[in-house]
Amino acid sequence: MSKETINYILLIVITLVIAIVLSLILRKLLSVFITKYVEKLRTDPTNFLFIKNSVGFIVYSAAIVFIFFKIPYLKSLGTALFAGAEILAVVIGFASQSALSNIISGIFILIFKPVKVSDIIEFKDGLRGTVEEITLRHILIKDFENKRIVIPNSIISDETIINSNIKDDKIRKHVVFSISYDSNIDKAMDIIRDEAQNHPLLIDNRTKEEISNNTPLVVIRVISLSDFSIDIKAYLWAAQHSDAFSMSCDLLKSVKERFDREGVEIPFPYRTIVYKKDLKKDEENSK
């Protein structure tokens, strides 16, 4: 092996080692900055996390370009490939189409911010969770079972999603209660309103005009007369999604207990079962 070849190998090894160390140092510094200063400055950490997650890609890409330009054989090979291999360029273009789509979508997400770190988002298929990271390729979501889900950026750009935090963290929660036709509707509505208004996570989202017009803090309406029940919906406001979920769970329990104590029946379907042998006996008796 010639001395020149050994020098080129050393150059590649040293360049890659420097790239790895530099990437680790930059990611560590950015992590410290994000942890210590973002909360103090009250700024959105999305941009900083995006840069942190892109550092490795940028450093390694720069290292590869440096190696190609420093080694004559690789430089001439790269020039030949770019100058004459049009078919190869087309193949590489098709192969990298999905990756480039995710990178471009990631940049658009960073610029237009349809989602940010810590936003709670929901997809059409019911998948829901909190955004933890936004990288060049994907978004990392933690669902409410503490599982991590990786979503390619192109899907975020193409699909309709529900973002509970995009403008305002406050959320209106709908909780439905069903009572039997024999129960007193007004009494049931009073119990629901009383339990809701006494819940510590309920917030007052009424405007000054609504307060002056005596609009109730908790709006309750009969929404349907179904086969077995009267359905009543309570409209509740909470400061954030997790509060709304906790409040709805608490109210389902406390309202059920009040219904039991005060004689409001929660219905269940009644079914009449006819045995075939009994039906046959009735037919014989009728003859």
What pTM value is reported for the model? Answer: 0.54
Nearest to 185 by CA among 221, 227, 218: 221
Q: 247 pLDDT exceeds 90?
A: yes
List pLDDT tens digits, range 176-197.
Answer: 999 999 899 999 999 999 999 9
Q: Which residues of 144-176 are buried (b: 16+ CB within 10 A; e: fewer)?
A: eeeeeeebbbbebbeeebeebbeeeebbebebe
**Range among 2-6, 27-31, 134-138, 279-283 rated most confident:** 134-138
Domain 171-262 fold is Alpha-Beta Plaits (3.30.70)
11-20, 67-76, 85-94, 122-131: segment of lowest average pLDDT: 85-94
Do the beta carbons of residue 128 and residue 121 sit within 8 Å?
yes
The pLDDT, as a whole number, for residue 260 is 93
Which CATH class name applies to 110-163? mainly beta
| pLDDT surpassing 90 at residue 202 | yes
Confidence of residue 285 (pLDDT cuts 50, 70, 90): low
Say what percent of the chain tops pLDDT 70.
Answer: 74
The residue with greater pLDDT, 116 or 198, is 198
The pLDDT of residue 10: 79
Average pLDDT in the chain: 79
The fraction of the chain above a pLDDT of 90, given in percent, is: 23
Q: What is the dihedral of CA 44, 46, 49, 54, to 10 degrees?
A: -140
